[in-house]
Each structure stands twice: as structure tokens, then as C-alpha cells.
Amino acid sequence: MQSVKTPREEISDRIRPVQSLIRENNLDGILVIHHINMFYFSGTSQSGHLFIPVEGEPLLMVRKSYSRACDESPLDNIIEMNSLKAILPSIEEHTGFKVNSIGLELDVIPYNTMLMYQKKAFPGIRIEDGSSLMKKVRMIKSKWEIDLLRNSCCVIDNAFAYVPEIIKEGMTEVELASFFEGYMRRNGYGGGSKMRAFNQDFAMGNVVSGSTGFVPTYFDGPVGGSGLSPANNPHGAGWKKIISGEPVYIDYTCVVNGYTADAERIFVLGESVLDDTLMHGHKTALLIQEEVMKQLKPGAVCSDIWALSEKIAAEEGLLNNFMGFGNERVKFLGHGVGLEMDEMPIFAKGFDLVLQPGMTFALEPKFVFEQGAVGIENTFVLTETGVEKINTYPEEINYISESAAVTS
């Protein structure tokens, strides 16, 4: 495994479409501050400001680290700058633009920070939200990005294959999580998954066993978990010990070279088949995935995909357990993945976005019962003709002989 730098042509292919959107929205340019967008449009995540004008070359103004930005970014115009008051003069000097209107990432910039920029950096300048312009460009992935995503999927698939070697009765959920996470870290996981949604931060993923799969949480996902304490991400793996015959639900992201794979599988210690309720739930999840995949083509509408999944869950008598339980249910089937885990598209009611080739996303039909959580999640890419499932690890429930399960 090795670090990958973003090629110059990849950055150029991102700058051009966002400049078209800047023009359509009657702005002189956008100022990129958030480190995810910074990386996407410049190839580096250093602290600073990237000005993308409506035409011409971008200007990267770096506070820290200038030397690393120069090493990582293929952009030609990179300067060192530590003062907010110097932003406008620097833009005028290096790009020739006199800025009258500018887009900022108002979906993530805190209000007080926005006021500071308005006062110190852009007095008298019209400021608008430029977030949607950047999200729209990021929504369609290039072949280069998809290849990086394939690599992330390969790492998490191999981590699932590692589970039979490490799981044993009596180990805690967090112990299993540490082995699983350690495997991915040793194979390139960058150490955390990024989310744009406010207050939805989490660690790397989720391990719950049996009844802890029924424990709800703040996180906007179908399966909660007790976590280690009420503080610091009260979600996912906790102190419960894993026992034979219960579903062990492992749902993780894997971010290698920035790109986020998202997948989930079910494991059971021992060879006793799960009870009929859990088996029905898992088979229905696979059925939903199968039927949805038939509809996933360019031109399909996200809200229609969600409606289909709810229809199948209802027909199987499991609607109250679909994507959570009762009032804890979440109302989506899947979400876009890329540099962040919650990109577009979103498969939910009211999201009438039309699917296009190059979109990458995770679909996660899951069911939650008092006995535990079951279901499936995979990462997909939409092609010109349909959908391709990138994850390859077997989707059926994985029964693990206890005599074969050893610690590493």
C-alpha cells in the first residue's frame, strides 16, 4: 500500500465544471476552506484558502503547511498567506480578478466564522452559498476516483474474510472491533470516516452482537449499539461479550487514499441457524437489494428506489423493523459515498434526484429486532447500462465453527 497523489489532469477536470456552475450562478468565484473540498479541488488538505475564479487558474493561499501544499498539489499558483485581510488583495494580484461576489461553504462554516470572514476578508462583497456547486461536481466520480474506491472495497472485503480467524466466544464487541479496525489500518485505512452532516461524527464503524443491535443511538443509521459510554460517540461496539448462536453485525467504512467504501456483513459463532424471525429479515434484505438493483439505471429517481424498498418490507410484514425499529427507524435506503460518507445521491422520500453514470453509493437494507440486527450493505457504482456492486464478500450469514475460531 502506498500514498497516492491526485494527478494534474484530475484536478483540471474538476475545476472546469465548477467554473461553469460559478458562471451560471453569477458569481466571480468560490473560496474553498473546508478541508474535504480543499483536497478535492487542489490535491492537498493543508490549512488555507483556495480561490476558484469564474475563469482562469485557481489560487491556493496556504497558512500551514506551505511546503507540504507545494509537494502535494499540482496547482501552479500556490502562495503563502496568513492574514484574512490579505485574501482579496492576493486574489487581485495573482488572478487579476476584482471580486464583487463570492461563494462560500455556508453548509459547514460556523456562523461566527462567517461573520469574521465577512468583516475581515470580504467587507462590502456579496457572499452566497457555494456549497451546492461543489457537491454537484463531486457527485459524479471519474474513473480514477472509482478505481480508488474499488481498492477501499477490496480492503474491507479482506477484513470480513479475516473475521473467522479472530472471533471467539467471550470476547467483547470492542475487542472484535479492535482486531477488525487494526486489519484495515494495517492495509491503508486513513483512520476516520468523514461526514458533512452536523453532529453526526462517529469512529470507524459498528460491531454489535445479539440484543445490542436493538439499542438505539443518536446516529442517523438503522442500527445503534451501546458504545463504550454515554460520552464520546455513544454508538457501536460496547462491553457486551459475544456468545454462540447470536447475530454479530459488522458494519464499517473503509477509507483508503480518501475514498470511502461502506459495507456490512452478519457472522454467527457456531452452526446453529438463527431463529426464523432473523432469517426472514436477512432474506428480505437480500430480496430488497436484488429488486432495487434491477431499477438502478441512469434516469431512475432516488425517491422511487426508496418507495420500492418500503413496499417490499411491507409486503413481507417487516415494515416496522425496516431500517430500525418503530420510532427509531431512519427513512432512507442508501447514500452517496466518496471523500465523505454522506454525499449525494440519497435514496429517501422527497429526494427526487435523477441518477447519472459515475455516481457511487452504498445501499443498506437492514432489519432490527429485539434479538439483534440483520441485513446487508454494499458499495455500488452506476454505469451507463446499470449498476455494479463493488464489494464481493459473500452476503449470506457467515456461520463460523467455534473450533476454527481463534485469536490472532
The enclosing domain of 74 has a CATH number of 3.40.350.10
* pLDDT score for 408: 28
Q: Give pLDDT, residue 192.
A: 80
Say whether both 194 and 297 belong to one domain.
yes
Residues 258 and 376 in one domain: yes
pLDDT tens by residue, the chain, 408 residues: 678 999 999 999 999 999 999 999 999 999 999 999 999 999 999 999 999 999 999 999 999 999 999 999 999 999 999 999 999 999 999 998 899 999 999 999 999 999 999 999 999 999 999 999 999 999 999 999 999 999 999 999 999 999 999 999 999 999 999 999 999 999 999 988 899 998 888 778 999 999 999 999 999 999 999 999 999 888 999 999 999 999 999 999 999 999 999 999 999 999 889 999 999 999 999 999 999 999 999 999 999 999 999 999 999 999 999 999 999 999 999 999 999 999 999 999 999 999 999 999 999 999 999 999 999 999 999 999 999 999 999 999 999 987 654 432
Residue 403 has a pLDDT of 62
Q: Is residue 3 part of a domain?
A: no
Phi and psi torsions of 356, nearest 5°: -130, 150
Residue 194 maps to a domain: yes
Residue among 362, 387, 388 at smallest CA distance from 375:
362
382/331 same-domain check? yes
- 81 and 163, same domain (yes or no): no
Same structural domain, 209 and 345:
yes
Contact by Cβ (8 Å): 32, 134: yes
Residue 205 lies in a domain: yes
99 and 233 share a domain? no
pLDDT computed for residue 253 by the predictor: 97
Q: Which domain holds residue 75?
A: 8-138
- Residue 406 pLDDT: 42
Q: Are residues 79 and 211 in the same domain?
A: no
Residue 275 lies in a domain: yes
Domain presence at residue 2: no
What 3 state SS string does the chain have?
A: CCCCCCCHHHHHHHHHHHHHHHHHCCCCEEEECCHHHHHHHHCCCCEEEEEEECCCCCEEEEEECHHHHHHHCCCCCEEECCCHHHHHHHHHHHHCCCCCEEEECCCCCCHHHHHHHHHHHCCCCEEEECHHHHHHHHCCCCHHHHHHHHHHHHHHHHHHHHHHHHCCCCCEHHHHHHHHHHHHHHCCECCCCCCCCCCCCCCCEEEEEHHHHHCCCCCCCCCCCCCCCCCCCCCCCCCCECCCCCEEEEEEEEEECCEEEEEEEEEEECCCCCCHHHHHHHHHHHHHHHHHHHHCCCCCEHHHHHHHHHHHHHHCCCHHHECCCHHHCCCEEEEECCCCCCEEEEEECCCCCECCCCCEEEECCEEEECCEEEECEEEEEECCCCEEECCCCCCCCEEECCCCCCCC
Question: Distances from the Cα of 255 to the Cαs of 1, 149, 151, 165, 188, in angstroms?
Answer: 13, 8, 9, 23, 8
Q: Are residues 117 and 158 in the same domain?
A: no
For 323, the grid coordinates are: 431500517
Q: Per the structure, how many domains does the chain have?
A: 2
The pLDDT of residue 200: 87
Average pLDDT over the chain, rounded to an integer: 96
Whether residue 106 sits in one domain with residue 92? yes
Is 296 found in the same domain as 166? Answer: yes
Residue 131 covered by a domain? yes
